DNA sequence: CCAGACGTTGTT
DNA sequence: GTCTGG
DNA sequence: CCAGACGTTGTT
DNA sequence: GTCTGG
């Protein structure tokens, strides 16, 4: 599921992530109600986020950015009802064609939501540990979403959206069984937003790319009022008893990790994603969505990992694609550009899947640094 | 026909 | 709005 | 989803 | 534990 996100992006970053503009000039963008947007490290349903949608009938042809409330309130909701944004803040992508509340939105009300990352809580019995999931290179995640509008008794029009979910990627299964639908490349984005045919099935799948990474964060992020860079600061987890024991009796911990690769076991790595990344196969394309950032790749996707095959007609649509890098090239992490956060700025450690192995190779690291 | 629902998540 | 159940 | 409450009576 | 509120 996906019930909490970080979105401190600027409007032009959202536009860019969703493939709307080529430059930083957002002034020409059709933007609606953007004054309601409050960038936040801790966004939950009920809050407004910038949404990219196709222009409504009668407007300019180009897509537009529209600030909408997270948590779908269907247009048929009684005018006297109190809108409940927590009832439908997610939509199961597997069943959107059957569910009456969502099916009617599919032809014309598909949209995109761009965020820096999302939070997921790992349940351990009665304990809950939140993790922050994001792209390693800090480019925004683009979620597939659906929107609707509803008029209340006062005649005010409320725009709301719901984020599509799918089963979890292999890499994140240890954490959860559901994840948001991440449109990992320009083709997916274009198909979800612009394809007039109902041929979007192929993009509604788990994002399996190895560049989706995570780490544990403070449980304080559970409080909606806790909104500051500390939300995304990595914390050191206390090792559990069995982890300690297994470390004592395992001479080569990395080898033990490798043995889990491809298996059904959960990576015993709630400590950090880096631990698990040693399990992924070098050079193996695990994803159907992930697009290798190669400059000269011209084709839609290599067949080796293009998974759910696109029909011939659909490749036509993919032909519109531009290089993904083109729209992500100048994303930079900009945690500092919001000046008035009450908490101290997060000092995100440089950490990649490359050096990941080193970090967990040491037995000492399991006792925390002193 | 009319009335009433229309959703996801997690947990055991 | 549209489908299901009675 | 997570956080936070979870109750009644009688008196002023 | 379970319900309500956001």
What's the domain range around A33? 4-232
Residue A23: which pLDDT band, with cuts at 50, 70 and 90? low
Q: Which of A354, A180, A353, A210 is nearest to A291 (CA)?
A: A210
C-alpha–C-alpha distance, residues A280 and A258, integer Å: 8
Q: Which has the minimum average pLDDT: A62-71, A168-177, A222-231, A304-313?
A: A304-313
Q: Which residues contact A46 (CB under 8 A, 6 or more apart)?
A: A69, A70, A71, A85, A86
CATH number at residue A53: 3.90.1680.10
Residue with tokens 């020409």: A28
- Is A48 contained in some domain? yes
> Nucleotides on strand D with an atom closer than 7 A to protein CB?
1-4
Give per-residue pLDDT as tens, A66-97. 999 999 999 999 988 889 999 999 999 999 99
DSSP state for residue A299 in the 8-state scheme: S
What pLDDT is stored for residue A249 in this prediction? 57
pLDDT of residue A59: 61
Q: What percent of chain A has pLDDT over 90?
A: 51
Query: So what's the pLDDT on residue A355?
Result: 30
Residue A359 in any domain: the answer is no
Domains of chain A: total: 2
Query: How far, CA to CA in Å, does A133 sit from each of A6, A116, A216, A296?
Result: 10, 9, 9, 29
Angle ∠(A193,A186,A323) on CA atoms, nearest 5: 150
A183 with A250, same domain?
A: no
pLDDT top residue among A271 and A160: A160
Q: How far is the CA of A287 from the C1' of D7 (A)?
A: 55
Percent of chain A with pLDDT over 70: 61
Q: What is the pTM of this model?
A: 0.74
Task: Note whether residue A343 is domain-resident.
Answer: no
Q: What is the mean pLDDT of residues A105-124?
A: 94
* Strand E nucleotides with an atom less than 7 Å from a protein beta carbon: 1, 5-6
Q: How many CB atoms lie within 10 A of CB A309?
A: 11
* Closest-lying nucleotide for A46 based on CA to C1': E6
pLDDT for A314: 39
Is residue A360 situated within a structural domain? Answer: no
Regarding whether A61 and A41 lie in a shared domain, the answer is: yes
The pLDDT score that the predictor gives to residue A244 is: 57
Instruction: Specify the nucleotide whose C1' lies closest to residue A123 (CA).
Output: B10
The answer to whether strand C lies under 7 Å from the CB of residue A76 is yes
Please state the separation of Cα A265 from the chain's center in Å: 24
- Cα-flanking dihedrals φ and ψ of residue A217, to 5°? -130, 175
Question: Average pLDDT, stretch A258-268?
Answer: 33
Residue A340 lies in a domain: no
Residue A160 inside a domain? The answer is yes
Query: What's the pLDDT at A197?
Result: 85
Of A330, A346, A361, which one is at a domain's C-terminal end? A330
> Is A357 a domain residue?
no
DSSP summary character for residue A294: -
Q: A103's torsion region: left (phi>0), alpha (psi -120 to 50) or beta?
A: alpha
Which has more pLDDT, A137 or A363? A137
Q: Alpha-carbon distance A48 to A70, whole Å? A: 6
For A150-193, how does the pLDDT look when each residue is reduced to its tens digit (9 = 90+)? 998 888 999 999 999 999 999 999 999 999 999 999 999 999 99
More confident residue, A133 or A254: A133
What are the DSSP calls for A203-231, one per residue? GSS----TTEEEEE--GGGGSTT--SGGG
Q: Tens digits of per-residue pLDDT, A314-338? A: 333 333 333 333 333 333 333 333 3
Bridge-partner residues for A126, per DSSP? none
Per-residue pLDDT, A30? 83
Are both A214 and A316 inside the same structural domain? no
- CA A247 → CA A242, A252, A262, A360, A363, distances in Å? 8, 9, 22, 11, 7
Domain shared by A202 and A309, yes or no: no
> How far is A119 from A217, CA to CA, in rounded Å?
9
C-beta within 7 A of nucleic chain D, residues 49-88 of A: 86
**Token pair belonging to A148:** 């609707």
- Whole-angstrom Cα distance, residue A325 to residue A185? 9
Nucleic strand C within 7 A of Cβ A109: no
Do residues A195 and A284 both lie within one domain? Answer: no
> Which of A147-162 are b and which e, b meaning 16 or more Cβ less than 10 Å from the residue's Cβ?
bbebebeeeeebbbbb
- Residue A298 binned pLDDT confidence (cut-offs 50, 70, 90): very low
Both tokens of A116, joined, read 């820096």
Residues with CB under 7 A from strand B: A 1, 74, 76, 86-88, 90-92, 95-96, 99-102, 123, 125, 165, 176-178
- Is residue A154 in some structural domain? yes
Higher pLDDT, A246 or A105: A105
| ipTM, interface predicted TM-score of the complex | 0.84
- Indicate if A280 and A148 belong to the same structural domain: no
């Amino acid at each position: 599921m996906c019930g909490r996100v970080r979105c401190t992006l600027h409007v032009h970053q959202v536009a860019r992530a969703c493939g709307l503009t080529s430059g930083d000039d957002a002034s020409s963008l059709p933007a609606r109600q953007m004054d309601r947007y409050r960038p936040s490290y801790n966004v939950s349903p009920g809050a407004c986020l910038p949404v990219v949608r196709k222009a409504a009938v009668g407007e300019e042809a180009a897509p537009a950015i529209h600030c909408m409330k997270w948590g779908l309130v269907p247009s048929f909701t009684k005018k006297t009802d109190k809108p409940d944004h927590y009832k439908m803040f997610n939509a199961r992508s597997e069943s959107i064609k059957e569910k009456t509340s969502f099916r009617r939105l599919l032809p014309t009300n598909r949209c995109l939501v761009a965020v820096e990352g999302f939070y997921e809580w790992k349940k351990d019995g009665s304990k809950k540990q939140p993790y922050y999931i994001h792209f390693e290179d800090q480019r925004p995640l683009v979620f597939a979403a659906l929107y609707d509008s509803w008029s209340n008794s006062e005649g005010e029009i409320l725009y709301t959206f719901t984020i599509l979910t799918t089963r979890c990627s292999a890499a994140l299964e240890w954490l959860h069984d559901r994840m948001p639908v991440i449109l990992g490349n320009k083709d997916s984005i274009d198909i979800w937003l612009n394809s007039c045919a109902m041929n979007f099935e192929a993009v509604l799948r788990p994002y399996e790319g190895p560049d989706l990474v995570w780490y544990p964060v403070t449980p304080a992020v559970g409080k909606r009022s806790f909104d500051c860079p500390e939300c995304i600061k990595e914390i050191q987890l206390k090792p559990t008893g069995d982890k300690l024991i297994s470390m004592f009796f395992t001479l080569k911990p990395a080898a033990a990790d490798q043995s889990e690769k491809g298996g059904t076991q959960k990576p015993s790595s709630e400590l950090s994603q880096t631990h698990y990344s040693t399990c992924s196969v070098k050079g193996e394309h695990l994803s159907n969505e992930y697009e290798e950032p190669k400059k000269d790749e011209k084709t839609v996707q290599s067949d080796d990992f293009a998974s759910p095959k696109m029909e011939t007609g659909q490749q036509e649509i993919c032909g519109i694609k531009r290089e993904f890098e083109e729209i992500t090239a100048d994303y930079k992490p900009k945690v500092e550009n919001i000046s008035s956060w009450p908490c101290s700025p997060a000092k995100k450690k440089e950490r990649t899947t490359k050096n990941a192995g080193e970090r967990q190779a040491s037995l000492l690291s399991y006792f925390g640094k002193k």
